[in-house]
């Protein structure tokens, strides 16, 4: 059994899966809040949509790291014979920042975006501030992405 390939696969799966779950939750709760606001005032749907999109990026970051792991480890081309257990585990661990950071930040970003959507309902002109508040949370997803990327890319 090639443990290296298994660990690398687990790493790619974790990155895409957990960040994806976080984004699904974040986008889900913001979507519910948007629907409430839009039912009162359909003109605000554009602004609400922008806020709803924000917690969706973590899933993309997770996918990105998953693909880079798959490419660098050879999972994409199918040639994994050279993959040692150590390297496989390194891929797994390198994927963890975006997996966990993405999961948690997407959920909290979703909560902030929900608050932002409520703000848009009361003050439609202030949607920009709501976006900036949500993006403050995303900073940490971006940092997780960066460190995951640097670590994965560093594995030769």
Partner 1 sequence: MIVAMKRLSLVALKSEQDTILKALQECGTVQVLNIADGESVNPEADAVNARIQRLSESISAVKPYAKKPGFLSPQKRELTLSAIRDDVPKAETAAGEIEELLHTQSRLQAEREKALAAKEALEPWVRLSVPMSSIRNTARVHYFIGLCASKDQPKIDEQDYLEAEYYNEATTIPTILACKEEDTRNVQNFLKTIDWQDYVFPKMEGTPGQAIEALERRIAEIDSEAEQAQTELEGHGDAIEVLQNAFDAETIDYDRLAVRGDLDYTVSTFVLEGWMREDEVEKTERAIKAVTDAYSFEVRDPVEGEEPPSVVRNNKFVEPFEEVQTLYSRPVYGSLDGTPYMTPFYILLFGLMLSDSGYGLLLMLGSLIYLKGKKPTGMSKGIAKVLFWGGISTVVWGVLCGSCFGITRMSSSSIELGGVFDKISLFFEKLAIFPAWLDPMKNSLGMLGLCFGLGVLHIVAGYIVGAIDKFSRGDWKGAIFDQISWVLITLGLVIGFLPAITGMAGMPVALPDIVTKIALGAAALGALFVVLFKGREKRNPLKRLTSGLGGLYDVTGVLSDILSYARLFALGIATGVIGQVFNMLCSMLTNASSPVMKIVGAIGSIVLLVLLHTFNVAINALGAFVHCARLQYVEFYGKFYESGGREFSPLSYKTKHVQVSE
Binding footprint of partner 1 on the chain (CB under 8 A): 50, 53-54, 56-57, 60-61, 63-64, 67-68, 71, 76-77, 128-129, 131-132, 135-136, 138-139, 142-143, 145-146, 149-150, 153-154
Judged by beta carbon, residue 106 or residue 145, the one nearer partner 1 is 145
26 within 8 A of 110, measured Cβ to Cβ: yes
CB of 123 to partner 1, least distance (A): 12
CB of 138 to partner 1, least distance (A): 8
Long-range CB contacts for residues 32-39, cutoff 8 Å, separation at least 24: 33/113, 33/114, 33/117, 33/118, 34/117, 36/121, 37/117, 37/118, 37/120, 37/121
**C-alpha torsion 20→34→121→26, nearest 10:** -20
CB of 127 to partner 1, least distance (A): 9
For 93, the token pair is 């661990």
112 within 8 A of 83, measured Cβ to Cβ: no
CB of 8 to partner 1, least distance (A): 17
Judged by beta carbon, residue 3 or residue 46, the one nearer partner 1 is 46
Judged by beta carbon, residue 85 or residue 140, the one nearer partner 1 is 140
Question: How far is it, in rounded angstroms, from Cα 129 to Cα 120?
Answer: 9
Judged by beta carbon, residue 1 or residue 122, the one nearer partner 1 is 122
CB of 1 to partner 1, least distance (A): 26
């Amino acid at each position: 059994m090639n443990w290296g390939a298994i660990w690398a696969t687990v790493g790619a799966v974790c990155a895409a899966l957990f960040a994806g779950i976080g984004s699904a939750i974040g986008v889900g709760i913001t979507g519910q809040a948007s629907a409430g606001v839009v039912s009162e005032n359909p003109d605000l749907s554009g602004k609400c949509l922008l806020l709803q999109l924000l917690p969706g990026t973590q899933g993309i970051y997770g996918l990105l790291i998953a693909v880079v792991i798959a490419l660098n480890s050879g999972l994409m081309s199918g040639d994994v014979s050279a993959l040692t257990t150590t390297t496989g585990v390194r891929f797994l661990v390198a994927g963890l920042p975006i997996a966990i950071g993405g999961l948690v930040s997407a959920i909290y970003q979703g909560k902030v975006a929900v608050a932002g959507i409520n703000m848009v309902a009361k003050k439609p002109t202030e949607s920009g501030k709501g976006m900036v508040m949500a993006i403050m949370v995303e900073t940490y997803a971006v940092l997780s992405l960066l460190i995951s990327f640097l670590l994965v890319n560093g594995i030769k």
